[in-house]
Amino acid sequence: MEETWRWFGPRDAVRLPQIRQTGARGIVTSLHDIPYGEVWSVEAIEERKALIAEDASLGLRWSVVESLPIHERIKLNEGDQTALFDNYRASMRNLAACGIKTICYNFMPVLDWTRTELAWPTPGGGRALRFGIVEFAAFDCYMLERPGAEAEFSEATLAAAKAWAQRASEADKEKLLANIMAGLPGAYDRYDIPGLRKMLDRYRGVTPAILRENLARFLREIIPLADELGMRFAIHPDDPPRPLMGLPRIVSNEADIAFILGSVDSRANGLTLCSGSLGAGPTNDVPGIARRFAERIHFAHLRNVAKDADGSFMEADHLDGDTDMVALVSVLLEEQERRRLAGLADWRIPMRPDHGHELLDDIGKPTHPGYPIIGRLKGLAELRGVMRAVSSAKGWPLA
Which positions ≥6 away from 315 have C-beta within 8 Å?
Answer: 128, 129, 130, 276, 303, 304, 305, 321, 355, 357, 370
Whether 357 sits among the annotated catalytic residues: the reply is: no
Q: What is the mean pLDDT of the chain?
A: 96
313-316/127-131 β-pairing: antiparallel
Reference 214, options 169, 175, 259; nearest CA is 259
Whether 236 sits among the annotated catalytic residues: the reply is: yes
Is the pLDDT reported for residue 189 higher than 80? no
Cis peptide before 240 (omega within 30 of 0): yes
Dump pLDDT digits (tens) for 333-358: 999 999 999 999 999 999 999 999 99
Cα–Cα–Cα angle for 368, 374, 378, nearest 5°?
Answer: 125
**What pLDDT is stored for residue 188 in this prediction?**
57
Dump pLDDT digits (tens) for 264-285: 999 999 999 999 999 999 999 9
Catalytic residue among 301, 318, 357, 362: 301
Dump pLDDT digits (tens) for 27-47: 999 999 999 999 999 999 999
Task: Sketch the domain layout of the chain as residue ranges.
Answer: 2-111+206-306+316-394, 117-200
Catalytic residue among 12, 191, 274, 298: 274
Whether 274 sits among the annotated catalytic residues: the reply is: yes
User: Is the torsion defined by CA of 113, 3, 37, 215 positive or negative?
Assistant: negative
Whether 301 sits among the annotated catalytic residues: the reply is: yes
Whether 88 sits among the annotated catalytic residues: the reply is: no
Amino acid at 306: A
Whether 98 sits among the annotated catalytic residues: the reply is: no
Dump pLDDT digits (tens) for 108-165: 999 889 999 999 999 999 999 999 999 999 999 999 999 999 999 999 999 999 999 9
3-class SS of residue 270: strand
Contact 139, 265 (CB under 8 A): no
Confidence band (pLDDT; 50, 70, 90) for 190? confident
User: Is the torsion defined by CA of 15, 31, 275, 175 positive or negative?
Assistant: positive
> Which fold does the domain 2-111+206-306+316-394 belong to in CATH?
TIM Barrel (3.20.20)
**What pLDDT is stored for residue 21 in this prediction?**
97
pTM for the full model? 0.95
**What pLDDT is stored for residue 399 in this prediction?**
63
Mean pLDDT over 159-187 rounds to: 90
